[in-house]
Amino acid sequence: MEYYLWILVFHIMAVMSWMAMLFYQPRLYVYHTEHKNKKDFVEVVKIQEYKMYKYIGLPAMWASILSGILMIYLRPDLLSGDGWMHAKILFVILLTAYSFSMEYYRKRLEKGKFPKNGNFFRAYNEVPTFLSILIVGYVITKTFSIAFTLITIAFGAFVIYKVYKQKPKEE
């Protein structure tokens, strides 16, 4: 238990690095998609996308998950209570799926395939914001609130819809 706080520090730093990738990677996809006709620009963006995902995001994701598992192993009491940790784990699983989707889109864009437009990636860029609001809310309050969860999801869906439906940028 004497190492628990050091593992927590490592966990927080890993999560911060992971979130940096999750917030920035879709923005790179917006640039890639909206400037697909600028070959030199796209080549630079491809390098950024690759390095951001492979060297920052993926290792930080695994560090976050493994340190989180280790903290639960050291303090199984975290799983007791009103379910806040279970809710957090559910949304971390969704955040992990989102993270893997970043690699899916990166590989498609790398091959010159444009599965989505810039507005899609702008809207998709909002997903980790609302998932992290839920996760941080549960961790700070150490409680699960249906109202907080539903309001956050509804507001997130509204924001994502509005971003997606905005007037498209010139491609």
Residue type at 89 in one-letter notation: I
Contact between 103 and 50 (Cβ < 8 Å): no
The answer to whether 88 is a known ligand-binding residue is yes
55 φ/ψ angles, rounded to the nearest 5 degrees: -100, -20
pLDDT tens-digit profile, the chain (171 residues)? 789 999 999 999 999 999 999 999 999 999 999 999 999 999 999 999 999 999 999 999 999 999 999 999 999 999 998 899 999 999 999 999 999 999 999 999 999 998 899 999 999 999 999 999 999 999 999 999 999 999 999 999 999 999 999 987 654
pLDDT (tens digit per residue) in 45-77 = 999 999 999 999 999 999 999 999 999 999 999
Per-residue model confidence (pLDDT) at position 133: 97
How does DSSP assign the chain, residue by residue? -TTHHHHHHHHHHHHHHHHHHHHHHHHHHHHHHHTTT-HHHHHHHHHHHHHIIIIIIHHHHHHHHHHHHHHHHH-GGGG-SSSHHHHHHHHHHHHHHHHHHHHHHHHHHHTT---S-HHHHHHHTTHHHHHHHHHHHHHHHTS--HHHHHHHHHHHHHHHHHHHTSPPPP-
Per-residue model confidence (pLDDT) at position 3: 93
Per-residue model confidence (pLDDT) at position 37: 93
Contact between 46 and 32 (Cβ < 8 Å): yes
Instruction: Give pTM, 2 decimals.
Output: 0.91
